Copies of this chain bind each other. A is one copy, B any other.
Amino acid sequence: MVTVDSTEGRLIGAAERLFAEHGVGAVSLRAIMQAAGTNVAAVHYHFGSKQALLDAVLRARIDQVAREREALLRELSGAEVTVEVLAEAYVRPLVTVLGSGGEFWIRLVGRLLAAGDGELAPVAESFLERNAAFLELLGRGNPGIETRTLHFRLIQAMRLTLNVLGDIGHTRRLLGEHGWSTEDVVEQLTEVVTGIFAGPPGQRQPRRTRNGN
């Protein structure tokens, strides 16, 4: 584990913020070092290159998300499952990350996902593995829907969750800043994810099932 006070930890923290705010390509290593209060050589010693630093930033919080998701999936397995519950379970781990100072990380991941290049590889893999378990649960509640459709919907839910939580301030700005607390945004987001999971009204099957134990 890397302590936040170490040179390495401060570099990761500064890079996380600057990458999220200005984009990976727009941030120079010098700017990161300046923000971290170190010198030009430190990042090359600790990470070797800009890409390696980015990887370290991405990995720093991925385990937290993975553990949260696993815990929620354990809760859900064997219980009654609705799209509402699944949406809640899908969004909540990232809300937790948000609450523990992870807004920049979330925005960065959302940015990279929208960029569509390979920089995201380490995070994408972890997310997609976890998605497989969700996919199974989602399929249980929507027996009539093709798996590839559910897969598509999961990815879009992930996109949206990252983009919305990654910039609550931006969302508030787009909406006119009137009466949108973080909790409001999370609630609205969860409703939208529920709608994504459920699909068009005409297409919907009976929404709840009990797993076969």
Contact = CB atoms under 8 A, between A and B. Distances in A.
Given A163-B159, A175-B155, A84 B117 contact: no
Given A25-B25, A26-B24, A115-B111, A196 B196 contact: yes
Interface in A74-96: 83-84, 87
Contacts of A110: 114
Interface residues of A, number: 59
Interface in A8-56: 21-27
A137 interface: no
A68 interface: no
B201 A191 contact: no
A104 B149 CA distance: 25
Q: Taking the full assembly, how many copies of this chain does it contain?
A: 2
Contact of A83 (B84, B197, B201, B207): B201
A178 B146 CA distance: 13
Contacts of A202: 84
Nearest to A110: B114
A50 to B, nearest CB: 11
A178 to B, nearest CB: 7
Given A159-B163, A163-B114, A191 B198 contact: no
Contacts of A160: 156, 159-160
B192 A152 contact: yes
